[in-house]
């Protein structure tokens, strides 16, 4: 069965941390990443930190087979650097139909005023997606640099499921950046919903066991577009909510947790669980706490408010940067 990890706001929710934690806690057979290099997932574990733009965050468990989906887009320089830094050469499969972003795509986006006007990260993703729609994009199996990594990921993943195995499907960005369901035109160049994650991999909805929608304890957004309840910079500093984007380094805008936005994301993605990260940013006294009993009363009330408002159990609570700084309530909710 498949556990889908999907963002609930505008990206930067901590999906990489959650996917990495699940890989260590549940020891799945495989993990597959969708999306592209315009989204970075930060993984902090065992004293090390990685900012991944191509590889699944589940790489931290050396027993997990890693896949890049057919619907994903890769850049050779970014991917090969990550492979070298993580040492996953012997357990990585890149689907033969994964699209490849070339220098011309990057150059186009970095010089095109329209793309900059909507807040493009300038990574070539939109331009490469357009070329794929026009059936002129080169695919992974056409590049000799990827020899030894190419496979038919769908066949392998189907075989894993036939054997009763478990797979983590790691989405990128967030629900409100969806090309179709987000705050158009201030969105990314693909759909970012749970359904779209499955589509990029090539799997159907009956394969899914859990849909884990990840929210940060507050909202952040990089680039242009609406952000209800947006805080000014002074208030962000006062509340300790100043952050920068993983890929671009741009300052993230911030706003308080928004139940209305969260509820739409939960309903649209058919969420079965909620992962709530960075509770320690709102309630610093809970830094690295790993049990519900040790959470402050204020933090518990905040989490209970979210759970009651969204009618979905909050099962994973992030209390610090490290992958293992998690309160795991899945057994309590009888989801394990």
Active-site hit among 12, 131, 191, 328: 12
d(CA 8, CA 210): 15
DSSP E strand boundaries for the chain:
2-7, 30-33, 41-45, 48-52, 65-68, 73-75, 92-95, 99-101, 150-151, 167-170, 208-216, 218-221, 253-256, 273-277, 314-318, 326-328
Residue with tokens 């989801």: 335
Rounded (10°) angle between helices 125-133 and 103-111: 120
- Calculate the CA 215 to chain-centre distance: 11
Distances (CA, A) of 263 to 4, 176, 276, 317: 18, 12, 14, 18
Q: In sequence order, what are the residues at sequence separation of 6 or more whose Cβ sits closer than 8 angstroms to the Cβ of residue 156?
A: 30, 65, 67, 93
Which burial class, exposed, middle or buried, applies to 46 when counting CB atoms under 10 A from its CB (0-12, 13-18, 19+)?
exposed
Q: In sequence order, what are the residues at sequence separation of 6 or more whose Cβ sits closer than 8 angstroms to the Cβ of residue 157?
A: 30, 32, 67, 167, 201, 202, 203
Q: Which two tokens stand for residue 260?
A: 């209305």
Q: Is 12 a catalytic residue?
A: yes
Active-site hit among 41, 95, 105, 131: 41
d(CA 8, CA 192): 10
Q: Is 41 a catalytic residue?
A: yes
Q: Catalytic site residues? A: 12, 41
């Amino acid at each position: 069965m498949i556990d889908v990890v999907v963002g609930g706001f505008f990206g930067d929710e901590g999906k990489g941390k959650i996917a990495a934690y699940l890989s260590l806690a549940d020891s799945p057979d495989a993990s597959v990443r969708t999306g592209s290099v315009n989204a970075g997932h930060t993984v902090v574990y065992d004293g090390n930190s990685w900012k991944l733009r191509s590889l699944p965050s589940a790489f931290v468990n050396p027993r997990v087979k890693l896949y890049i989906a057919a619907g994903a887009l890769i850049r050779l320089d970014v991917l090969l650097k990550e492979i070298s830094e993580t040492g996953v050469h012997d357990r990585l499969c890149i689907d033969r139909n994964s699209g490849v972003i070339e220098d011309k795509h990057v150059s186009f986006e970095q010089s095109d005023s329209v793309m900059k006007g909507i807040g493009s990260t300038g990574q070539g993703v939109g331009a490469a997606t357009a070329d794929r729609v026009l059936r002129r994009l080169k695919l992974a199996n056409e590049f000799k640099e990827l020899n030894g990594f190419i496979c038919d990921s769908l066949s392998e993943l189907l075989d894993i499921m036939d054997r009763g195995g478990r797979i983590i499907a790691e989405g990128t960005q967030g629900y409100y950046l969806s090309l179709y369901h987000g705050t158009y035109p201030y969105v990314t160049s693909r759909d970012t919903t749970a359904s779209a994650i499955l589509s990029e991999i090539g799997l159907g909805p009956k394969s899914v066991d859990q849909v884990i929608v990840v929210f940060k304890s507050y909202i952040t957004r990089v680039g242009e577009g609406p952000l209800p309840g947006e805080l000014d910079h002074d208030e962000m500093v006062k509340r300790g909510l100043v952050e920068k984007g993983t890929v671009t380094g741009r300052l993230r805008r911030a706003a308080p947790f928004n139940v209305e936005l969260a509820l739409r994301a939960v309903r649209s993605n058919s969420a079965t669980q909620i992962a709530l990260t960075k509770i320690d940013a709102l309630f610093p006294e809970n830094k690295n706490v790993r049990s519900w009993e040790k959470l402050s009363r204020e933090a518990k009330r905040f989490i209970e408010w979210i759970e009651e408002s969204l009618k979905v159990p909050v099962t994973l609570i992030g209390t610090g940067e490290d992958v293992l700084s998690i309160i795991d309530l899945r057994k309590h909710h009888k989801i394990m």
